Amino acid sequence: MFRNLTKLLHKMRCPGQITFRHEHKMPEHLKSVETDKDPEFSAMVLYYYHRAAQTMEPELVKEMEKYPHMKPEERQARVSAILNLLGSVSTSVEVNFPIVRKNGNYEIISGYRSHHVRHRLPLKGGIRYALDVNGNEVKALAAIMTFKCACVSLPYGGSKGGVCIDPKEYTVDELQTITRRYTMELLKRNMIGPGIDVPAPDVNTGPREMAWIVDQYQKTFGYKDINSSAIVTGKPVHIGGINGRHSATGRGVWKTGDLFLKDKDWMDLIKWKTGWKDKRVIVQGFGNVGSFAAKFVHEAGAKVIGIKEFDVSLYNKDGIDINDLFSYKDEKKSIKGYPKAEESKEELLTADTDILMPCATQKVITSENANDIKAKLILEGANGPTTPAGEKILLKKGVLLVPDLYCNAGGVTVSYFEYLKNINHVSYGKMNSKTTSELIIELINSINESLQQCGDSFPEIKANKKLKRIRECTTEADIVDAALQTVMESAALGIKQMANKFELCNDLRQATYIWSALKIFQAMESSGISQQ
């Protein structure tokens, strides 16, 4: 069967003649990405994937030796076919629909949704509202979602969607109309659903938009679906959302850094001592991701000396109290004017610091400023903040760069927990948290009672700090936080193993793509490569 399928694939590519590829090639249109000053984000994602595919291909061909009936060239062809599938987008749609503005004018709205690879269902990916939303960007973001979900071992394929609007130019009622109409257009095409594709918030969308989507689905296509609330994640808690989702991406950024900072082997690579204590940190962006990432590294013992926002840069060489800054921002709706740090005109991305966390926009680290960056550890909280040309310079300088693919996967991980909560119809901790807590308490009491019966004088047994944390982990937010950390720890172990296995030194991005692509490859190969 495999032999016939392989021959068929090659006949489709080269009618009348069967040729075999002997190695995975970087597509011609991507070869310049490595040196481009401002490459398209979609090209960056594909470039990273194909580079990883070139590295891992010999290992995959070797794995095909489990098929003794295949000739060497047929094994190679099978691997090439699957790698090519991984580099393409399965489905992409553009929808256009009219709305009537508040002023009576008619306007045509364009929306997009892309499904990358359907090796696991449902697919997962956000919905963004922005003027730069287009077909190519959505396809690239869908691809990175596939690899991101595989990186942290979530049973999802990757997708992404968006609507090409500036939401600031529309009223709340108009935005609700756009969201509901966009939802219907996707539902009519079977592009979203609890078992098909589960959207989530992204740029300029949030719990409000997710609530509208759930409501629209429940009133139309999903009126008989018992799992209808699972059509999206990132919902308000009172309609099926999950506690801990808001801070999850920022917590994930902190946790990824923590897993490398506490690893002596990796710290030896950059000649650092382990731990966060006294490490200087600069954060680019103080939105949802950057603010919580700053909060958690601050609480871990690091010194946040700089925060760069679109309208102001704050600097304090002695460290900024992030919790105090949170309070100030809640009151003023901006960090501008914060009295306990000076407003700096210096470019903070290249300022003297130990750790840099770009958590705002794409392509802020390029070949033009990479040589000037002084940080030895970079945690990518944003999608695509570093261009391949910039990264090449950083790697040569010995910088340890933890890539976006892994670093900002905390959000989708907790979205997965929300999805499970919705389809299981029970919140975390409701069934067993009290039992677990009481078990620990009574266990310690039982030990103390037994010791007292011995007659001798024994000190009272008390729970240590870690046991207390387990005993008190009873709320949904606590349980979600503990589970998130477990997932990130497992992924870090796999990434480190790939870096060692393929001798990639400090090239963690390639190690992460290999770690992700390897799992997707195995799922597709064992299921049959024509499953799409």
Interval 89-97 mean pLDDT? 93
Q: What is the pLDDT of residue 19?
A: 42
Q: What is the pLDDT of residue 293?
A: 93
429-476 pLDDT, tens digit per residue, is: 666 766 777 777 777 777 777 777 776 777 777 777 777 766 666 677
C-alpha to C-alpha distances, 333 to 170, 197, 287, 344, nearest whole angstrom:
21, 35, 11, 20
Is residue 14 over pLDDT 80? no
Q: What is the pLDDT of residue 158?
A: 92
**Do the Cβ atoms of 257 and 355 come closer than 8 Å?**
yes
The DSSP letter of residue 365 is B
Q: What is the pLDDT of residue 112?
A: 97
Task: Give the annotated binding-site residues for NAD(+).
Answer: 249, 288
Q: Which pLDDT band, with edges at 50, 70 and 90, does 5 fall under?
A: very low
Is residue 13 over pLDDT 50? no
Residue found under tokens 């597509």: 27
Is residue 524 over pLDDT 80? yes
Lowest mean pLDDT of 200-209, 251-260, 262-271, 425-434, name the range: 425-434
Burial, 438: exposed, middle or buried (Cβ in 10 Å; 0-12, 13-18, 19+)?
exposed
| Alpha helix positions (H), 102-171 | 135-151
Q: Which pLDDT band, with edges at 50, 70 and 90, does 530 fall under?
A: low
Task: Give the annotated binding-site residues.
Answer: 124, 148, 249, 288, 415
Q: Which amino acid is at 232?
A: V
**Do the Cβ atoms of 204 and 129 come closer than 8 Å?**
yes
Is residue 8 over pLDDT 60? no
Is residue 12 over pLDDT 60? no
Instruction: Look up residue 522 and give its two tokens.
Output: 């195995």
Interval 182-194 mean pLDDT? 96
Interval 334-361 mean pLDDT? 89
**Do the Cβ atoms of 98 and 108 come closer than 8 Å?**
yes
| More confident site: 463 or 109 | 109
pTM, rounded to two decimals? 0.86
137-176 pLDDT, tens digit per residue, is: 899 889 989 999 999 999 999 999 999 999 999 999 999 9
Taking the C-alpha atoms of residue 47 and residue 29, their distance in angstroms, rounded to an integer, is: 10
Taking the C-alpha atoms of residue 217 and residue 231, their distance in angstroms, rounded to an integer, is: 8
Q: State the SS3 of 420-438.
A: HHHHHCCCCCCCCHHHHHH
Is residue 21 over pLDDT 70? no
Lowest mean pLDDT of 59-73, 344-358, 470-484, name the range: 470-484
Lowest mean pLDDT of 41-55, 246-260, 422-436, name the range: 422-436
Catalytic residue from among 25, 71, 139, 160: 160
Taking the C-alpha atoms of residue 441 and residue 92, their distance in angstroms, rounded to an integer, is: 54
Query: Which homologous superfamily is 91-239 in?
Result: Leucine Dehydrogenase, chain A, domain 1 (3.40.50.10860)
The DSSP letter of residue 342 is E
Find the helix packing angle between 410-424 and 248-261, rounded to 10°.
120
403 phi, psi to nearest 5 deg: -75, 155
For residue 101, give the nearest of 165, 162, 177, 168 by alpha carbon: 177
Domain ranges of the chain: 91-239
303-331 pLDDT, tens digit per residue, is: 999 999 888 889 999 999 999 999 989 88
The per-residue DSSP string of 294-340 comes to: HHHHHHTT-EEEEEE-SS-EEE-TT---HHHHHHHHHHHSSSTT-TT
Task: Give the annotated binding-site residues for substrate.
Answer: 124, 148, 415
C-alpha to C-alpha distances, 146 to 49, 139, 140, 252, 488, nearest whole angstrom:
11, 11, 10, 18, 17
Neighbours of 66 (CB within 10 A): 8
- Tell me whether residue 329 is one of the annotated catalytic residues: no
Q: Provide the mean pLDDT of the chain.
A: 87
What lies within 8 Å, CB to CB, of 4 at 6+ separation is none
The helix (H) or strand (E) run that includes residue 351 is: none
**Do the Cβ atoms of 112 and 134 come closer than 8 Å?**
yes
Residue found under tokens 């840099």: 356
**Do the Cβ atoms of 478 and 469 come closer than 8 Å?**
no
- What angle (nearest 5°) sits at the alpha carbon of residue 1, between those of residues 7 and 150? 90
Lowest mean pLDDT of 122-136, 252-266, 424-438, name the range: 424-438
Find residue 94's DSSP bridge partners. 112
What lies within 8 Å, CB to CB, of 104 at 6+ separation is none
Interval 285-313 mean pLDDT? 90
The helix (H) or strand (E) run that includes residue 445 is: helix 433-452
Lowest mean pLDDT of 94-98, 244-248, 347-351, 502-506, name the range: 244-248
